[in-house]
Amino acid sequence: MSILLIGLGSPFGDDAAGPAVVSRLVAEGLPAGVRVLMPRRPDALLDALEGAEAAVLVDASRAGLAPGTVHEPVAEALGEARALSSHGLGVAGALALAAALGRAPRKLAVVAVEASALDGEGLSAPVRAALPEAARRVRAKIAAFAQAAGETGAPPQRPAEGLGRA
- Binding residues (CB under 8 A) for another protein: these are 40-41, 43, 46-47, 81-82, 84-88, 93, 96-97, 100-102
User: Residue 134: in which H helix or E strand, if any?
Assistant: helix 125-151
Cα–Cα distances (Å) from 29 to 6, 89, 96, 135, in that order, read 15, 31, 31, 11
Nearer to another protein, 10 or 23 (CB): 10
Shortest approach of another protein to residue 14 CB, angstroms? 19
Of 18, 19, 37, 42, give the one whose Cα is nearest residue 91: 42
Q: Nearer to another protein by C-beta: 102 or 150?
A: 102
Among residues 100 and 148, whose Cβ is nearest to another protein? 100
User: By C-beta, is 60 or 97 nearer to another protein?
Assistant: 97
How near is the Cβ of 102 to another protein at its closest, in Å?
Answer: 8
Q: How far is the CB of 131 from another protein (least distance, A)?
A: 26
Identify the DSSP state of 64: S
Neighbours of 62 (CB within 10 A): 12
In the complex, the smallest distance separating the C-beta of residue 156 from another protein, rounded to whole angstroms, is 29
Nearest to 131 by CA among 49, 62, 38, 69: 69
